[in-house]
Structure 1
Amino acid sequence: MELKLMKALWGMPGTYETQLRQIAEAGYDGVECHVPTEEEEPLFRELMDRYGLKAVLQIHTEGPDHSASFEKQARRAASFRPELINSHSAKDSMPYEEQLAFFGHALRLEREIGVPVAHETHRGRAMFTPWSTARLLRDLPELRITADFSHWCCVCESMLPDQADNLALAMRHAVYIHGRVGFEQGPQVPDFRAPEYEYALVRHEQWWDEICGLHLREGRQSVLFTPEFGPPCYMHTQPYTNQPVVDLWDICYAMGQRFRERFGRKFG
């Protein structure tokens, strides 16, 4: 089983040229980004081929018709033949029957376009808690998710000690990992390397290990992982100056290297 280590363009300065070259030279296997515009598409395709990078394309559904929004974006994303489409899907406030209709439509479209879709466990979206996600996964067992459990830590204001069953179900449906460490008061610790946040890092790594172990036992060929720390204001900043407390590129790179070494030792 191989690791495909991706780098999100989120928060990176510069053009596609500088971003993709930096990512390739740092040894990443691919990028996660929004779907390029029609104007950007030729350059994006040329640079991805030049640097031999894989793609995870991210979409965000919008109202009032989230199903139509999903379909329009997913069809365009699929034209790039990415490894996966990562979707911020539906809304937390959407009645459950509407959620079922949305995700049922999403599954039908996923089968049609032939590209895997992972629905992200994200605040503000239908999968914003462990129990709301578990309910959907039980009713629609074909659904697959992007495991970003940092959001659940924030929403639940805990490291989820009472959510073992729902976490276990979610991990069985996880096909993509967003490697960001959250804690009880937010979706991103200031620095995962700081000793005061070791407890949160250990907890997330246990979850990621379990997902990788499930992939291995199920005979999957690869694991997709993005060290997805975000820029300010996701990232903590100093009061008054608004200066970030760590360097975004460095902290993502450090997490990616840490996970690569851990993955190789345990699953490679």
Structure 2
Amino acid sequence: MKIKFYAPAWGNMLPFDTFCKNVKEVGYDGVEMALPLEVKKKQEILDIFKQYDLEFIGQYYQSFERDLDEHAENYEKYLRHLSSANPVFINCQSGKDYFSFEQNKRLFEVAARISKETGVKIIHETHRGKSLFAAHITQHYLTQISDLRITLDISHWCNVHESLLADQPEAVELALSHTDHIHTRIGHIEGPQVNDPRAPEWKETFETHLLWWDKIVEIHRKNGTQLTMNTEFGPATYMPVLPYTQQPVASQWEINVFMLNLLKKRYE
């Protein structure tokens, strides 16, 4: 089983062609991102992916509408839009944390229907503010919807629960067993992203995340299934910044390449 690695387009300020050239040169397999609804701009992005032989993971995050009917309508619009680009799969920040189980379940059912119709796999991300925002909530969803597959961004849960989740082993283990894609950001008990994972003060936190990811890798190796990772450290102000100047305290690109190289060495 060969793990594939994807770069986040989130935070990129370079011309997209230059960004993709850099992504290819450092050894990523592709890019994870949303696509513009405008047909010409969408095709330009897909053409650049083809030029650099980069794969594409579709990303959905536009869960903004409070009214469920309007929300579901836009959810379906975006998922069909991404599906038409023939991505490796679509990663969704589905639903809202204030929607009920039945309301979010309706959205999961929309995604399952679109996936069946298009043949494009759709999975759902553990993300603050969305349906799978907390470990115990996700445990309930995974228990009730046994075929739900997820993107694990466990950094959010560290933040939500203000812990490294030692008191929720059952919820974490269940999530690991349902994970097909990992966002390899390091979260901590007061935030979803450490300032720099290379700093020694984050050693315990970093190692805790690695042990979670190790278990997922082992599950996929045992099953002979594909696992993917996105080194999704984000830009300012997700990246901590200095007061007054708002300058980021570290380089997003350098950290993501550091994570890429570390994880390739660890798992290959």
Provide TM-score, normalisation by structure 2. 0.95
Which SS does the other structure have where 2:31 is aligned? strand
* 1:262 Cα deviation after fit: 0.3
Please list the CA deviations of residues 56-115 of structure 1 after superposition, one character each: whole Å capped at 9, or x if unmatched.
Answer: 111123322332222111111011111110111100000222122222232222222211
Match for residue 146 of structure 2 among 141, 147, 156? 141
What corresponds to 1:101 in structure 2?
Answer: 106
Which SS does the other structure have where 2:220 is aligned? helix
Contact 1:67 1:106 in 2 (8 A): no
* 1:40 Cα deviation after fit: 0.9
| CA–CA distance in structure 1, aligned partners of residues 110 and 47 of structure 2 | 33
| CA–CA distance in structure 1, aligned partners of residues 108 and 227 of structure 2 | 24
| Amino acid paired to 2:56 | A
Q: Report runs of 4+ in structure 1 exceeding 4 Å deviation.
A: none
| CA–CA distance in structure 2, aligned partners of residues 135 and 111 of structure 1 | 24
Please list the CA deviations of residues 150-199 of structure 1 after superposition, one character each: whole Å capped at 9, or x if unmatched.
Answer: 00000000000011111111111111000000000000001111111111
Query: Superposition pairs for residues 1-268 of structure 1, below 5 Å?
Result: 1-37=1-37, 38-60=39-61, 61-63=63-65, 64=67, 65-220=70-225, 222-264=226-268
Which SS does the other structure have where 2:40 is aligned? coil
Please list the CA deviations of residues 26-69 of structure 1 after superposition, one character each: whole Å capped at 9, or x if unmatched.
Answer: 11110011123312122112211111000111112332233222
Where do 5+ consecutive residues of structure 1 fail to align?
none
Question: % of aligned pairs identical?
Answer: 37
| CA–CA distance in structure 1, aligned partners of residues 172 and 120 of structure 2 | 25
Number of matched residues?
A: 263
Which SS does the other structure have where 2:21 is aligned? helix
Greater shift, 175-184 or 30-39, is seen at: 30-39
